[in-house]
Amino acid sequence: MEHMAVDAEEIGRRIAEARGRAGLTQEALADRLALARSSLAKIEGGSRRVTALELARVAEELGTRIEWFLEDAPEAIVSRRNAQDPGAPSPGIDLMVERVARAVEFVSERSRRLLLTSPPQAAMPRDRDQAEELAANARSLLGAAPGGPLTDLAGPFAAIGLLAFSFDLGRDSADAATILLRQGGVAIINGDRPVGRRRLALAHELGHYLVADEYAVDWRIAEAQDAERRESLPDRFARAVLLPRKSIEEDWHRFTSGDGGPRSAAVRMASSYRVDMATLARRLAELAIIDGADAKKVRETKTTRADIVEYDLVVADELASPALPRVYEHAVLSLYREETISSARALDLLFDTWGDEPLPTLPRRSEGEIWQFV
């Protein structure tokens, strides 16, 4: 990714945006920086250049990486910002998408372990049948069978170039977002959501990726009832990926034929396909497998601890925050082992998810060897 240098006016605008996002007045930030408020005002207005040391202190005080001030964002994010009101602050998920996209492109440019590819662009579905067809094609692309559960989504998604990251972005943030890179793409999932909602969100982002939506932010996936809204077909696609028509009707009848009835079937189906009850109910209803009254019962079903024991259910906390794609972690570690990056940079590229776990020990080098760190 080529980075264009930004001018003093743009750096000042970004400082003002980051300051506003942090909830600080000019006076408050200037006080923290030991600057006169008038000096900070001139910096933000572009009439005074900020020094390297001042910018480093600004970044530290505002909790923002220094390159955010100095380098252009990925083109998709720039396009999104240009479409918004001038000066409008970026939502928190935009900032995380930008940070992850920068990190992925940094690593992919330097590591042969992260060679991203993009699948052929699919057409945007125009009706429900086309959404179902796209879902069937997506399962084939992922190497999955036409029917049956699709588990551990992150691995197969990475294999077709979509890297899935999960971070706790909070209750009030978006469910998910996707951005296309020059090759491949990145999906950010809000780890604050329950596991079924996280999986549905990632399947939804797969739809955006396959039709080459440059940048998409999804706030409340599958909550609106309006069948005509633009996101209803990606929602339908996501449900069809996780609950394929090929097997869901057969499995529902198989589970309901047992002793437990519809409640038992709902509990076992939701566990097997790793979806939440609302998604299961809507999918069964839209395929006319159950009627509205039964869909309401399924939606209200709660899986209990007794269900987990008696039906021997597998409890999988997929995409629990924080979660990074394994192929991405491998690539970061390979750069660290090759001493292309320092330990501090490696931990930063791992988004501080390793906690107190140490990085691998590197072999000792002779005093005469000089290594260039990025």
Rounded to an integer, the average pLDDT of 43-61 is 90
Q: Binning pLDDT at 50, 70 and 90, where does residue 129 land?
A: very high
For 179-235, write each residue's pLDDT tens digit.
999 999 999 999 999 999 999 999 999 999 999 999 998 887 766 554 444 558 999
User: What average pLDDT does the structure give for the chain?
Assistant: 88
Number of independent structural domains in the chain: 3
For residues 131 and 203, membership in a common domain is answered with yes
pLDDT of amino acid 186 = 97
For 284-342, write each residue's pLDDT tens digit.
999 999 999 999 999 999 999 999 999 999 888 999 999 999 999 999 999 999 999 99
Cβ distance 32 to 61 under 8 Å? yes
pLDDT of amino acid 166 = 97
Helices 261-273 & 245-256 angle (0-180, nearest 10): 140
Question: Which residue has 């505002």 as its token pair?
Answer: 62
Prior bond of 322 cis (ω within 30°): yes
Q: What's 12's DSSP letter?
A: H
Least reliable range by pLDDT among 3-12, 32-41, 101-110, 141-150: 3-12
Which of 219, 258, 251 has its CA nearest to residue 235?
Answer: 219
By three-state DSSP, how is residue 178 classified? strand
Q: Which domain holds residue 268?
A: 245-303
For 334-368, write each residue's pLDDT tens digit.
999 999 999 989 999 999 898 777 888 887 766 55
CATH number for 29: 1.10.260.40
Is 212 a domain residue? yes
Q: Which helix (H) or strand (E) holds 179?
A: strand 176-180
Domain boundary among 48, 72, 96: 72
For residues 36 and 85, membership in a common domain is answered with no
Percent of the chain clearing pLDDT 70 (strictly above): 88
Over the range 265-287, which residues count as b (16 or more CB within 10 Å of their CB) and which as e? bbbbbbbbbbbbbbbbbbbbbbb
For residues 133 and 146, membership in a common domain is answered with yes
Most confident of the following: 58-72, 157-171, 355-369 = 157-171
Is 310 a domain residue? no
Is 262 a domain residue? yes
- Written as one string, the DSSP assignment of 73-132 is PPHHHHHHHHHS-TTPPPPHHHHHHHHHHHHHHHHHHH-TT-----PPPPPPP-SHHHHH
Is 374 a domain residue? no
For residues 105 and 94, membership in a common domain is answered with yes
CA dist., res. 220 & res. 80, Å (int): 19
Is 231 a domain residue? yes
CA dist., res. 283 & res. 203, Å (int): 14
Chain centroid offset of residue 130 CA: 25
Which of 93, 47, 98 has its CA nearest to residue 69?
Answer: 98
Which of 344, 225, 226 has its CA nearest to residue 295?
Answer: 225
For residues 44 and 140, membership in a common domain is answered with no
